[in-house]
Amino acid sequence: MKVLATQATPKYVFALVFLLCLPALGLVSAFSLDHLSPIVALAMIGSPLALLIVVFCVRYLNQSQLIWLFIIGLPLHSFISMVLYGMLHIPGGVITALSVWKELVALIAAVVFIIRAVPAIIHRPIRITLVDSFVLLFAVWVFGRLCWSNVDGSAVPLQAQIYGMRFYIIPLSLYAVGRLAVLDVNAHEKLYWMLAILGGVTGALAVIERIIPDEIFISILQALGYHSYYTDYVHATAMWGQGNTSASMWSYIGGWFIRRASSIYLVSKPFAFSYLVILPAILSLLWTKRQRVATRWLWLCAVLSMLGLLLSITRASIVIGVFVFFVMAVLLKQWRTMVFIVFSGIISLTVLLSLPAIQSYIGTIVTASDTSTRQHLDGWIGGLTNPNTPWLTGFGVGTANQENLRFDLEPTGYQLGVVSESIYVQVLQELGVIGSLLYIGLQIALIVQANRLIASGDLYLFRAGLVVRWMVIGVLLTSFVAIPWQNALVLTYFFWLLAGQLSALRLKSVIKQPDSVEQPLLSGASLRRSL
């Protein structure tokens, strides 16, 4: 079962992509021009060669190999950067140049897949789905708002614009990759298995991490260059945790500082956010598979994933993860799982609520007297009550992005004494009501499209729709108190890849190959009854 294949990429495409991406790489490398060193200069000179190598690799990469690159590279990105900078003392300019590999791969892959699709589009015009329409309108508005900011002189400095555009361009590029790439019938199931294994492995590492005593674990991190990386490269200011670690590593519960598990992500939030895409993938396989061996492994991955999520101590992600787990079990009529979740929840709550420390902790959350809850409320109130906001069009791309702090530029929220902790507030501040409506409409369109695949009666389409629907619902809920696309690489990249693939599946351009997939059933209702 494959999407209709397109012609091979013409040779001139490599030169074109090279010329388009070289200025972007030069700008990123130029961030360290104030402290230019011979090694940084060498990195800038060698970057075109590295870019040519990337383009050459993409020429022979299909989507499956691209997924392998992301599934291995994205979780390890921060850890490798820490080791290179903190332990091996590689200059920051070189680390910055190397760190853009993921953005370059996404952009180059999008350009290559678009050009590959042109011959097929000429012979057979592509049909536009509802999600495609929202993506195109949102992209036009983002680029139009950026251009207008530079025309009227209200734009932030170039570095902030680049990071602000990255926030929007990378998701749109990944959507294009998923939408236009050649799709194999087994690619989805392989991707779900890869995400399941990733969730199980990172969850197991989180368990091991929490077993290690705090002093030993912190000494291991410091030996790997943790403190130098966060203070000198990331420019983190809240380093008051035990052993000069980041405050984000600790949670204050009932008078005790408890270390949050972050696995190989170094920070607990990106680790927890990754399960917004991993858990739906695991559960969609777990409850649509009939092989006992596969089911046992999937249950192991599910248990380890939930343990890792709980040990991350990110309240919103834990609540949303349990919600997704339970509601999917209810809708798919997994009665034993439902009973297990209910009884486990009752026992856990009974034990926790009997502890005075937990009672006081819950009391601070309910009364909004803890720092985190107050910060979220201040972000919403400040973002929605700022009288200076141009509500229709927003302040412009990059103005509310917290990455500005890396360049000593305060985002709009900081200028008002308000920290934007929600993607809805950030999009409203940057793109106005028009951009917010397009963004929310895009997410709703994804849910509508996923529901149509779920009702198709085909097990393959049912599974794909199930994953995307609950992935989108999880992101929509999390976005009230977080900015998922900020640094959660695994969530960002695979969310938009799967969203693009969903649009391709919706067009029913899948050619069924007998004996390669499980046979489709007659209707969505009969499919759910069989599960």
| DSSP calls for 25-55 | HHHHHGGGGGG--HHHHHHHHHHHHHHHHHH
CB atoms closer than 10 angstroms to residue 365: 12
Most confident of 76-80, 327-331, 355-359, 424-428: 76-80
Q: What percent of the chain has pLDDT over 90?
A: 16
Q: Output the pLDDT for position 530.
A: 40
Q: Which two tokens stand for residue 464?
A: 């794909």
pLDDT on residue 352: 66
Contact 285, 196 (CB under 8 A): yes
Sequence-distant (≥ 6) Cβ neighbours of residue 98 within 8 angstroms: 43, 81, 84
Average pLDDT for 324-341:
78
* Cα distance from N-terminal residue to C-terminal residue, the chain: 23
CA atoms within 13 A on the CB side of 356: 1
pLDDT digits (tens, 9 = 90+) for 43-57: 555 556 556 655 565
**Which of 80-94, 195-209, 360-374 comes out lowest in average pLDDT?**
360-374
Q: Where are the domains of the chain?
A: 12-333+420-530, 334-367
pLDDT in tens, 248-293: 788 877 667 888 888 889 888 899 999 999 999 998 888 776 666 6
Q: How far apart are CA 397 and CA 168, in angstroms?
A: 9
**Structure tokens given for 461:** 């389409």
Question: Helices (DSSP H) in 61-157: which residue ranges?
Answer: 63-82, 92-99, 101-123, 130-152
Tell me the pLDDT tens digit for each residue of 144-168: 888 887 777 666 777 777 778 888 9
H-only helix segments in 231-291: 268-273, 275-286
What contacts 24+ positions apart, CB below 8 Å, involve 374-382? 375/419, 375/421, 376/421, 376/422, 376/481, 378/418, 378/419, 379/413, 379/418, 379/419, 379/420, 379/421, 379/422, 379/425, 380/421, 380/422, 380/425, 381/418, 382/413, 382/416, 382/417, 382/418
* Sign for the pseudo-dihedral over CA of 261, 262, 268, 270: negative
Number of alpha helices (DSSP H) and beta strands (DSSP E) in the chain: 22, 2
Measure the CA–CA gap between 464 and 472, rounded to whole angstroms. 12
pLDDT given at position 4: 38
**Across the chain, what does the average pLDDT equal?**
76
Predicted pLDDT at 368: 60
- pLDDT value at residue 496: 93
Read out DSSP for 311-337? Answer: HTT-HHHHHHHHHHHHHHHHHTT-HHH
The pTM of the full predicted model, rounded to 2 decimals, is 0.81
* Residue indicated by tokens 């008051």: 240
Average pLDDT over residues 322-340: 79
Asked whether 249 and 260 are in contact (CB, 8 A), the reply is: yes
What percent of the chain is helix, strand and coil (3-state, nearest 5)? 75, 5, 25
Q: Count the residues in the chain.
A: 531
Q: Give CA–CA dist 262/77, Å, rounded.
A: 13
39 vs 434, residue with greater confidence? 434
Least confident segment among 67-71, 196-200, 478-482, 523-527 = 523-527
Q: Binning pLDDT at 50, 70 and 90, where does residue 190 land? A: confident
Q: Which helix (H) or strand (E) holds 257?
A: strand 256-259
Instruction: Give the per-residue pLDDT at 517.
Output: 38
Q: Is pLDDT above 60 for 376?
A: yes
Percent of the chain residues past pLDDT 70, beyond the cut: 68
Q: What is the 3-state secondary structure (H, E, C) of 275-312?
A: HHHHHHHHHHHHCCCCCHHHHHHHHHHHHHHHHHHHHC
Collect contacts of 413-419 with beta carbons under 8 A, ≥24 apart. 413/379, 413/382, 413/383, 416/382, 416/386, 417/382, 418/378, 418/379, 418/381, 418/382, 418/383, 418/386, 419/375, 419/378, 419/379
Tell me which amino acid residue 126 is.
I
**Residue 296 CB-density burial (10 A; 0-12 exposed, 13-18 middle, 19+ buried):** exposed
